[in-house]
Structures are given as C-alpha cells and as structure tokens.
Chain A
Amino acid sequence: MADRKMIMKGFIKGILAMAVMLFLFGESLAQSQASLMFNLNLPDIALIDVEPKDNNNITLTVPPPERAGEGLDVSQVRNEQLWINYTTSRRSNGAYRSVQVAMDGTVPAGMRIKLSASARAAGQGGGVFGSPAGALTLGSSPQTLISGIGGCFTGNGVNSGHQLVFTLEVTDYALIEQVQDANLLLTYTLVDN
C-alpha cells in the first residue's frame, strides 16, 4: 500500500511537472519581441537679428536751443524702435552665451551714445533668456549687452526679445561743433562665454 502511494506520488509529480513546463514554454514561445534604435542629433544654433529687419536704421537728432544762453537739451533724445531677437541652443554642461555690441564710426565730439536692452518681452518665446547688462557707452570695442543666455528663443519680430534703448549725452560742450552728422554702424554678436 505504501509502495503504491509512493508510485502514485511520483506519477502525479511528473504530470504536474509536465503541465507546468507546457504552460511556461507555451507562453514564452507565443510572444516575440523586436527592437530598433535611432539617433537624433540636434544642431548647434545661434541666430540673432534686429527688428524690424527691413528698416532698422535709426536717427538721433539733437534739437537746437530755443533761447540764447540755453544749452543743448538731449534729455528727450531717445529711440526705442528696435528689438533684438535671438535663437540659441546649448549643451547640458555647455557654455552660456552673450550678446556683444561694437560700434564702427565716430560719435560727434563732445557727445556719447548710450545703449541699453530691456528685459525680455513677456509672453513670448521659451527657455533660458539672458539678462541685460545695463546702459553701455558705445565704442569700437565689443561690450556685453546681454549675458547668461541658455537654450532659448525670444519670439520673432518687433515686441519680441529685448527692446533696444538709445540715448544721447553731452560730455563736453567745448568740444561740440556747430553742425555734425555721423553715420554709425552697430554689430551685435552672439558669443560663447
């Protein structure tokens, strides 16, 4: 009797083992997988322009004094027509970028031109925008106008990006000559920090 029970136990174990193996192997062979891999390499982008693109020449006109003895009043000499737009990319641990400005030409003697950029216009663009440096006295050497630019896009056109504010200051009346015109060319460059 004990012998038969032993034999039966062995037989049942065998049946169970067979059933489990059939189930497991059946399940594993009924599924199949395949995979593919591909890469996407985003390009390094650095674009900058001044808007409005088709008309970004400005004129700063000094009004003459109204009465004898008065000095030149340049407090109202100001231009806010231009906007600077940029699109730039950045690697994860890569350098931030700055906008530098340099002037070609000679400012009339006794005067200086100052330039500042506003904070980025809200509601447009995305990413890590730069911070304005404050008012600069324009000169031939490149100066940082906006710094700390990461991967971002400001939005395109007037009222996007940073507004440029030009003002005029008198530094020395003794040097100011009667009639002067000056054509000045400003170059804006995106540079790695």
Chain B
Amino acid sequence: MKKNKILSSFLLVVAVVLALPNCLSAQEIKIEVHGAPIFPVASLFVSDAGNDIIVSPSEGIPESQSNTRLNIFTDRKGKFEYEVWVRAVNVPDGVTLEVKRDNAGTKPNGGGGPNALSGGTTFLAINDSRTSFFTGDEERINIAISFRLKNISVVQPIENQNYQILFEVNFR
C-alpha cells in the first residue's frame, strides 16, 4: 500500500516535471511602449478674460506630433492574429482622453506595408474600461500613436493631473 502511494506520487511528479519545459516554451506575444504624450503648453492658457482654456471644444488639445511608440513582438511562427487593447486610469472627471494610431510601424528587420495593422486610426475615447484599439498579424515596431485631450477647463481644479495608460496585447 505504502509502495503504491509512493509510486503514484512519483508518477505525479514526473508528469509535472515533463510539463514544465512545454509550459516555459509556450508561444508568447509582448508589447512595449516608449515615450509619452507631450501637449503644447500654450494650449493650456486663456486668450482673453471670460474665455475658457479651449475655445474650440470639439478640437480639444492634440499633440503637435506623435511622441509615443508601440512595439509588438512574438515568437509564434506561421499565421497568427493579435489584438491590442487600451485602458486609461485616473482620467479626471469631465476630461476626455483620446488615442489613435498614426501609422503601422515597420517590421523588426525593416520594411513592412501599411496593411499589417487594422483599426485605431481615428481618435478613440479611452477610460477605465478595456477598449479594443487595433489588430495585427505581424511583428511591428515603432507604431506611432498620438493622444488628444478634450474638455480641459478652468472649472477643473488646477492640481497636477496624473494619467496612466495601459496597453495589452493577446492572440485572437
């Protein structure tokens, strides 16, 4: 009885040990983000007494150029498709933060057409809910993304606003 218990435990351990290398070598996909949004400071001032910070609420405050890049790497071979998600944390009440993709980046070894990525090319409002951003079927680096702020107002307290943007990628 005791021998059989030892034997069954040994079989369990062997099975786990055999599983480990397979687990560690499971195909993975990674996302990196470099840079951060830079908004023109002049946009945060008021042109005349009686006006709010933004004279044209529909346009908001866009970045003057894209300052943020995404890289997506995977060790999966063959055909695959992935989806990138985005979420924003600590967006102040009343403020709208938007993001869009400006290009499709390039392949890690250079080159790459614009059609490897799909979606995300128009401004998308982001908040604390996970939102689908774009999809792709190739590794890509230096995917330029840019941000826009709306509804910034003198009515809001003038504390330092700290934003956090979370990107997530997974295979479809």
Q: A interface vs B, CB < 8 Å?
A: 2-3, 6-7, 9-11, 13-15, 17-18, 21-22, 25-26, 29-45, 47-49, 51, 85-92, 94, 125-128, 151-157, 160-161
How far is the CB of B171 from the nearest CB of chain A, in Å? Answer: 5
Question: Does A25 lie within 8 Å of B26, measured CB to CB?
Answer: yes
Question: A3, A31, A86, A157: which has the most chain B beta carbons within 10 Å?
Answer: A31
Question: Does B163 lie within 8 Å of A39, measured CB to CB?
Answer: yes
Bound CA span A155–B51, Å? 6
Q: B interface vs A, CB < 8 Å?
A: 1, 4-5, 7-16, 18-20, 22-24, 26-33, 35-37, 39, 41, 44-46, 48-53, 68, 70, 149, 152-171
Q: Which 8 A-B pairs have the closest CB atoms?
A: A10-B8, A14-B15, A85-B50, A156-B50, A25-B23, A18-B19, A47-B49, A127-B155
Chain B contacts of A128 at CB under 8 A? 155
Checking A18, A34, A85 against B32 with a beta-carbon cut-off of 8 angstroms, the contacting residue is A34
Given A34-B166, A36-B33, A91-B159, 4 more A-B residue pairs with CB atoms under 8 Å apart are A22-B22, A32-B170, A47-B50, A157-B50
Chain A contacts of B154 at CB under 8 A? 42, 45, 87-89, 127, 151-153
Question: Does B50 lie within 8 Å of A126, measured CB to CB?
Answer: no
